Structure 1
């Protein structure tokens, strides 16, 4: 047979080898897979059905627990309101309270209890006081004996201060006797004891229908039943004949315990039962606080028939797959090799310098992944090349401007020194100091031997600039320097990054303000960075202007002028030198302050310009 001939296989092309290998290793596993898949499919569908049932039950249970928690929390919040209880105590115990005060108490104080009624489904929130009240205040305040038919009445003195839930609290209705006093069957109450005085006790009761605690529990339109079973075996929910067979004994059997009181698990138990000739999937979960079981009963015969139909459909699909497989192999192999051919051609183009070419989106996942990574590599290479060009352009521009400013700089220095000496001889020391500061600024500004300086040199340059600016002002501008560590002085930073910040603070923040004219400079380390904060307590900016300034810093709004480098240029320089994460940040509040922050990588150098902070 040619298909199995080793000699022919060795002489075949790559296309033929791949096609035959795929055919052989596809047909054989397909048959084996079918034999394994059918039982696995049944198990999977069965597990999906159980997961869906568990998810539905857990959602209902979570709603149940959340509603209980909301009611408990609101009741405790009311019980912690000392002002409210002080007013209740006064009205209850003080016989001299006027009728007007009682009206205010009824209309303004007691409605605090309505907070609990804001929770969905709550029917009543009221207080029962064990005291001979002169007057009750329906529906909020009653004597204790109004609740004598409630389940919790006989246990009221044994309820802990954390409260307790009682289900099916009343078996009778007395609304015809006590107008507004809500009672009824299938109701649950959260009971919280309190004390008005050492001798006067009471009960805060929040009453809610059991159906509101677990929405959908009494919905007869649902195909499955959801019921609650308390520790006494009583059911709450849809009253169907099948449900009556779900007893505590049945729950104990499916949970594997002798008595349901021994069941302590917080998880969901799922089992299958035959009830009245129907196969029922029964899922249950227990509330550890009050012992209530939430049970979900779902008939599953239709689902099992559906699973059987799916298995038959899978068999038919596999038959079609085997018929189509041979036809598909040729196309699949051809597409695979086409992608490889495209990859080879584009990789070869790199050797000819065509770096702008990008591999298009390929069809195969593996080939597409290789192509995407290859394109990313070229993009990064192009980006790095562009950034290198930009850095060199900025460096050349700065050097050119420095050379332009350096025309006969020694002559300028000598003239300034001569004028300074003349001022000292004539004892005009203010002028001499100003000329000294100006000379230092010229030397620092026009020096081209280095791009980075020690931080203390930048601070000295800043102080010289402030000294000269004070000559123009009718008030003194001061600089207060706070340094986290003295070693920061020796940190290397780019030149001319502090003076533009101070200039912005003076021109836009402190100009015309004479109260606090101090510029606060704080130096610190933060996560491997040098953090420089310059703050003024000047005019500040509103939110709209601050957004505009930030946009200019990020996108380009500062222009380089004589003696000034815009914030954008500083931000751009720091980004190019240190990488992303470094640069300029600005914060402000109108009429309060403006803070400008510089983030630099500590120990950064020319060799680390592309390293992110």
Structure 2
């Protein structure tokens, strides 16, 4: 997956890279304006939406809490009415009478006690019914308050009221206003009520009956069943059975149904009060709910958020249109300005194409002091420099041809010298001058080794062979006072070293470590050792010469580390003659040039005793080696 994404990004970068500069500038200009505007718009409209939602929530919560307060007040009215209805001792005596009352007693109850119950009913306009039900056979029904309990035997709530032992039970139901009316159910006037139901205890263990206080739901919850609600919100009351009650002529906002609201409450309502946000058929809604203890019902206010979102979307779309029109207008202006600014750059591009085709005499018009004008001037200078370099290259090519001819001539001269030395060697052998013959052999080998420079690296065996030839020639001068000791393991002889890197060190030891005062006193010995350590090739070149003082040793090593010109002086400070040939400094520079700063040479010396040059090289084995067959090597 990542590879596919990288490939797509690569193609996009290539496609964008192929566009003209003017188009890229316009695209960048649009991006610089569009991205901040889009981010700002998203943030602004999100804040607007949140603030509007918060305001709507507060507004509808206030309405919901106001309605909840009215409901609690109505519940208190119903409870107080129920308490007053059964608190009259005469009423309880009538309900629990163990005999049928005489006519005089009935008239007295009807004239003195029953009017109190009627007054209680008519003094509370919100209370629809006050009903007392009794199963006492001695009690006569007095409409519209006192009834026989057999009239409610078919009510599903009767067992629940009886099981609560005098505790209040609330029930919501739909039914006729007058239970005394008979006829078809469809002919009865239906209404929705909330009832307070409670058993009346006349004395301990004696049931006096059941009191029922009814209040129509439109009085109980006036805002829920009122006609003044707007079309964006609607209050509902859900009973404990999940039945929804609301104004019969009202329409729920949007395309929502009471069943859908009930399901959302069932899934998301987790406390007695709160709010939920949900969507039905793509329409967003806000649901605010309160739980009413006692009736065990939900009071819900459902608010449609679609009008709010539509308004915000309208503003957003209006802003988008304005921004697009503005960007298009500004892009046209920018396109024209860029065309004027980049005109000289276009001219410069065409001139570069002509130069690419080989026309270095093209003239570039330069005007103004801007960056493009400066670029054009630099390009003109570059064309002039190219023409100079072409002429110089032609001259160098001619010089290289001449140098090649001279090299061929020198090669012919070298062969003449080799042949001459070979003839002299043969003459010395014929005359029995064998030391002279050996010296001529050594000299010829050294000349071939020095003149034939086909590569920078040779094997350690080749370099040691060259050193032996050098020591053999120097022993002719010093009457065999020089001794060379080589202690190199066989497996290291094939390792590569820089050509002419060991011989200058040995030559330096002989020239500056061997003094006339040593003649006749001791033999001058140069010892060469080699080994491997920490992945590197270590070579030690030690002599038993005069050494050097500590100050001079520090000076030499400091110069080797920094590449200072001080090493061009001889290591013996007493001598003022300049060093001839390739010195220690050049060896150090060559090693670091080919192998890196981690490699090189270091000098240790004790005055009057010895001097040791420690050389560190990378381990590398050449494919083959020999006296005259130098092989190139890579130091890694």
TM-score range, shorter chain: 0.3 to 0.5
**Which structure carries more relative contact order (alpha carbon 8 Å, separation 6+)?**
2
Q: TM-score, normalised by structure 1?
A: 0.39
**What is the TM-score of this pair, normalised by structure 2?**
0.38
